[in-house]
Structure 1
Amino acid sequence: MITGHVFIATSLDGFIARKNGTIDWLLSRDDPLEDHGYRDFIKDIDGLVIGRGSFETAAASEPWPYDRPVVVLSSTLASSPVPSHLTGRVRFVDMTPKATMETLAMEGWRRVYVDGGQIVQSFLREGLIADMVVTQVPVLIGEGRQLFGPVDSDISLTHLMTKTFPSGLVQSHYKIEG
């Protein structure tokens, strides 16, 4: 069975990016000597599903940050060619979250890293997220793109654990009840 998993950071006031999509406030906290659990998280992931905004942020960085296949859900990009340096690593699709997961399951994917605010929100609304690791960065940015948006009904979570890091980051792991 295929499952969706979230590993994401927010500012203390709940934003994943500034209004213009930049994450400079997060990157300034990146300490290559401090592992915040990403390596353990990603080792069992078959690939990523992200949105256009997350793709554009990642595509602007050198080198390409992902060593797994990436599916970009975007009606805007679906008819566009993938940049030549990402051929074989990235594909653009215009599908619903459910159709995307069904397609990936048929391809043999089991664990999918779901990333990006709107994508996470849509996968949550459709009940396609098994768990979330949310890391709070001790910074207030005042406004930006929220991780969570409106939901049709409550989404119950079970707290699994919380860790703190010397950098001041606080990371909580939640199971989605379904």
Structure 2
Amino acid sequence: MPFTATVFIGTSLDGYIARPDDDIEWLTSRGERAGDLGFFEFLDSVDAVIMGRNTYDKVAGFGEENWHFGDRHVGVLSTTLPQDADPRITVYRDMDGLVADLDKRGTKHVYPDGGRLIQSFIRAGRIQQFVISVAPVLIGAGHRLFGELLEDVPLRLDSAADVGGGFAQLRYTVEK
């Protein structure tokens, strides 16, 4: 059976995941007041974390004490990151190779992280659920969570909740 993938991410109310310069302080500073928004419980449900290159660079820059992935398989989709860049990760050059390796590993539940990577997963029809924590801020410009699509992606709202700190958490299932 193919793996399932769930997006778990924070956005501004106007749909951005980072400022144009990749800054996410607007999210992290507000997130501190809200707690982990259920992230660590979610992370316990996944057996693989896949990141885009920019997200990997950001996460790696947080330091070893903030590498929360334990012994889960961690992959980075990148055409430029050296294969031996980090012993904790597997570097994938393309989506087909990534999907084939996850299937070969018997991966059950994937956490894709990073705007362009999530967009690639959406276009490939590999996302089953979205958990989007909306921060109480408009930032006006930056990197959008969603990009252009070839066709609509119909969603079913599973829940909308006040999760503290002014955040609303929206949970959607992709309807097939």
Q: Same fold (TM over 0.5)?
A: yes
Listed as ranges, the matches of 1:27-66 within 5 Å are: 27-31=28-32, 34-62=35-63, 63-66=65-68
Amino acid paired to 2:111: Y
Partner of 2:79: 75
Helix, strand or coil at the partner of 1:16: strand
Shift of 1:70: 1.3
Provide runs of 4+ in structure 1 moved above 3 Å.
none
Question: Are the structure 2 counterparts of residues 137 and 33 from structure 1 closer, same or farther at C-alpha, using a change threshold of 3 Å?
Answer: closer
Candidates 110, 113, 119, aligned match of 1:112: 110
Asked whether the 8 Å contact 1:71–1:90 carries over to 2, the reply is yes
Give the CA deviation at 1:108.
1.8
Cα distance in structure 2, aligned partners of 1:166 and 1:20? 27
Which deviates the most, 119-128 or 57-66? Answer: 57-66
Partner of 1:131: 129
Cα deviation, 1:114-166, whole Å, max 9, x if unaligned, reads: 11100101100110001010110001111000000000011000000011023
1:64 Cα deviation from its structure 2 partner:
3.9
Name the TM-score, length of structure 1 as normaliser.
0.91
Q: Which amino acid aligns with 1:102?
A: A
Unaligned segments of structure 2, at least 5 residues: none
Aligned length: 172
Tell me which residue corresponds to 2:89.
Answer: 90
Deviation readout 1:36-64 (Å, 9 max, x if unpaired)? 11122111100111100100100110224
SS of 1:30 mapped into structure 2: helix
Most deviating of 166-175 and 23-32: 23-32
Distance of 2:84 and 2:93 partners within structure 1: 13
Separation of aligned partners in 2, 1:150 and 1:165: 29
Bigger mean CA deviation after superposition, 6-15 or 101-110: 101-110
Distance 2:67 2:127 in 1: 23
Q: Counterpart of 2:76 in structure 1: which amino acid? A: V
| Displacement after TM superposition at 1:32 (Å) | 7.3
Contact 1:17 1:144 in 2 (8 A): yes
Instruction: Report the structure, 1 or 2, having the larger helix content.
Output: 2
1:166 and 1:66 map into 2 onto residues whose CA distance is 22
Residue number in structure 1 paired with 2:23? 22
With 98-107 and 141-150 compared, the bigger mean Cα shift is at: 98-107
Which structure 1 segments of 5+ residues have no match? none
TM-aligned CA deviation for residue 9 of structure 1? 0.4
**Percentage identity across aligned positions?**
36
